[in-house]
Amino acid sequence: MEVQCDGGRYILFKERTVIGQAVLAGDRITGLAIDPRWRRHGYGSFLLKELLRRNGGYDRAAPSLFYAPLPRPDDAAALALAQKFGFTVQGDALCRRRVPDLTAVELSHRFLRDSLPSGGLYLDATCGNGHDTLFLCGLAGAHGRVIGLDIQQQAVDATNALLHDNGMSGIGRAVCCDHRELLRFAPPGSADCVMFNFGWLPGADHAIHSTAGSTLPALRAGLEALKPGGVLAAVLYSGKVIGSSEKQAALDFFRALPLKDYTVLICEFANWSDTAPLPCFVLRRQH
């Protein structure tokens, strides 16, 4: 089976024969039909799923919205198909709305998006595959600057490639460097944001991960780099491979910061397991 897209028309082929089609106009699915000889074999599901998938309907990181006309009241199969894919009746139409799952990283992004001005200096102190660096470039905007750091060259290369592919090379770049040395890239009091997402590089050797020995000096350097009003964001991890000493040391460090200088948030996902990623924020107060 194959689905070909021609403008907003999604055409379902079985071998070389067209057996169905669906039409998407903006966010409206205006029609979906399967040849009567091929109904009740799951082809409608296949076509609808493909149309949704190709238009971001299963993207876990971005919201999506689709409308479709209400089926006739006697068309139980069409209604069942719509319900199977999460459409609900809204007024005189069907609607499917999805919002991204709230993860520790997504929470950090939302918090930073709401807290930071564009045009500043942003540091991603654990750039990994570059997703956070790319996010910071979007925040920084054309007049901002983003530096990504990682101890693994393959992470630096992946980040620079991602920035290039997304047209962000003019705003951000990644450098191979231990994050303990981050003040080389952001002198004291210069950064709007320093972001850490500890742990290992996804898709690479899990034995190479951050540790308390480098994390604490890096957090100290990160706070020193912040401007008044700046934010340090950190996602902490624990578990079988990584243990819990790094997370515990970082938590002790955060909890001991003086209230007159910093506001500290530790945002636990309270009904997840103890090893759930833990987003933390340190806001440098303006005196």
Given the rule CB under 6 A, which residues bind ligand SAM?
126-132, 149-152, 155, 178-179, 197, 199-201, 208-210, 214
- State in angstroms the smallest separation of the CB of 120 from ligand SAM: 19
**Rounded to whole angstroms, how far apart are CA atoms 97 and 69?**
15
**Rounded to whole angstroms, how far apart are CA atoms 16 and 34?**
15
Residue 21 CA to its chain's centroid (Å): 33
Closest to ligand SAM by CB, 62 vs 259, is: 62
H or E element, residue 264: strand 262-266
- State in angstroms the smallest separation of the CB of 102 from ligand SAM: 17
Rounded to 5°, the CA angle 218-254-137 comes to 55
Closest to ligand SAM by CB, 48 vs 186, is: 186
Cβ count within 10 A of residue 47: 23
- State in angstroms the smallest separation of the CB of 198 from ligand SAM: 6
H or E element, residue 220: helix 212-225
Task: Name the residue whose CB lies closest to ligand SAM.
Answer: 128
**Rounded to whole angstroms, how far apart are CA atoms 44 and 87?**
15
Closest to ligand SAM by CB, 179 vs 284, is: 179
Closest to ligand SAM by CB, 79 vs 151, is: 151
Closest to ligand SAM by CB, 82 vs 127, is: 127
Closest to ligand SAM by CB, 21 vs 210, is: 210
Tell me phi and psi for residue 188, to 5 degrees: -50, 135
- State in angstroms the smallest separation of the CB of 150 from ligand SAM: 4
- State in angstroms the smallest separation of the CB of 264 from ligand SAM: 21
Residues 108 and 235 sit within 8 Å (Cβ to Cβ): yes
- State in angstroms the smallest separation of the CB of 115 from ligand SAM: 18
**Rounded to whole angstroms, how far apart are CA atoms 67 and 89?**
10
